[in-house]
Amino acid sequence: MPARIRSIETRVPDTVISQESVRDIFRSQPGTSRLAQRLIGAAFDASAIDTRHTVIAELADPGAATGRCDDDDGPPTFYSRESGLILNPGTGVRNDVYTREAPPLLIGAARDALDSSGFDPSDVTHVVTVSCTGFFAPGPDYRLVRALGLGVDTQRYHLGFMGCYGAFPALRSAAQFCAADPDAVVLVVCVELCTLHIRSSDDPDAIVASSVFADGAAAAIITAREDGGAGPSLELDHFSTTITSDGEADMAWTISDHGFEMVLSSYVPQIIGRSIEAALAPVLGTVDGAVADPSGSIERWAIHPGGRSILDRVQSTLRLDDSQLAPSREVLRSVGNMSSGTVLFILRSILHDEGSAADRTGDAERVCAMAFGPGLTVESAMMTRRS
C-alpha cells in the first residue's frame, strides 16, 4: 500500500489580529516616511487577509481575546499600547518567546492528529518536525516524544530554516520511511511563530512580510498501514523539487541582532509565473513536449499562499478556475501565511471537504500541492484523495 496522510489537524494562538488594526499600528510609527506609509497601506489592503493569529497578545485589538504572551505586570516586549510604539527586542528575547510558545501549539496539533487518525502513541515510529522561526534543544521532536508518551526509541528528525516549503521535505521523508518499513507510522509537525520577527521599517520587503505572516502549527499522520481510523485519506504519489534559474536574492531568510529578516521581493510572483509550468512537469507529465493540462486533469489544488499576488499569478499561468484556488485563498483570508505549516492547513480543508462529489460517488481525486521558498525553491507533490 502507498503511504497516505490519514489525518491532519491544526492549531493557532488565541490572539486574533485584524488586518486593518495592524496596518494602522505600522503606519503610525514615528519616523515612517510618507512613501512607506503609502506602501504599508497598499500592502495590507491588497493582501486579501482579514485576520491572522499571533502569540504576541500586545498586538490584539482592544477588547479582543489574547494569548499567553502578554504580561500585565511587566514592561511590554513587542508593542506598547501606551505609547503606540512597535518595540525592537533582540533576537535572544524573541527566541525565548518562541521556546515558550511553540511547544503548546505543536503538541496540541500533534495530539489532535494522533487522536483523529485512530492510531495510538505506541504506534508512532518516526517524528519529523519543521520550523524556521526559532531554535531550542532538546528540540520540538524531543518535546513531542515526552509530551505524547511516544516510545523512547522513536526515530526523530528536525528540518530547520527551509521556509515556506518545509512541509514537503517532511512529507517526502515520511513517504520514504513508509516505503522502507510498511509498519511505520510517521508524525509530521510544522510550527511557525512568524510574528515574533516583526519590526517597523521603511524597507518594502519588511513591509510585505509584516502584512502577510502569522503564527500556527499543523500536524499529519502518514502511514501505509491499513488499520487505524476510517475516513478520507491522501495518498502520497510523487514529489518533485526544483530551483529556479533566478530569484536567489528575491526570497531569503537571515538572522540579525533583532530577529530574523525576510526578503520577499515584488518580483517573486513574476519568477514563479515563469517557472511554475517547468517545475510541475515532473509530477504532471508532458504531452507533445508541453506540460499536461493542469486545469483539466487535476481536481484539487493546494497552493501555498505566499501572498495574494502569488496565488493570482499561479491561477492565471495554470488557467485554474476560482473553485480550484478557493481552499488556498480561504486559508490566506482567515489565518494568513504561516510559512511551512500553511499548505497543511489547505490540505486539511481538502481532506475533510464533506461536500465533495467524490465522497458521494466513491471516486478518487487528484490533488496537486505546491509551495515556494528561499532559493527560489519550488516544491510540489501529487496526491490522490480517496474517500
Helix (H) or strand (E) holding 127: strand 126-131
The residue length of the chain stands at: 387
For 380, the grid coordinates are 510540489
- Yes or no: say if 109 and 217 are a contact pair by the CB < 8 Å rule: yes
Q: Is 194 a catalytic residue?
A: no
Spacing of C-alpha 334 from chain mean position: 13
DSSP 3-state of 109: helix
CA-wise closest residue to 190 among 304, 93, 44, 311: 304
What is the C-alpha to C-alpha distance for residues 25 and 23, in angstroms, rounded to an integer?
Answer: 5
For 32, the grid coordinates are 515612517
Residue 12 CB burial class (10 angstroms; 0-12, 13-18, ≥19): buried
For 362, the grid coordinates are 466513491
Start-to-end C-alpha separation, the chain: 16
What is the C-alpha to C-alpha distance for residues 369 and 366, in angstroms, rounded to an integer?
Answer: 10
What is the C-alpha to C-alpha distance for residues 26 and 32, in angstroms, rounded to an integer?
Answer: 9
CA-wise closest residue to 210 among 374, 380, 356, 25: 25
For 82, half-sphere exposure in the C-beta direction (CA atoms, 13 angstrom radius) is 4
What is the C-alpha to C-alpha distance for residues 274 and 256, in angstroms, rounded to an integer?
Answer: 32
Q: Which one of the listed residues 132, 164, 190, 194 is annotated catalytic?
A: 164
| Catalytic residue set | 164
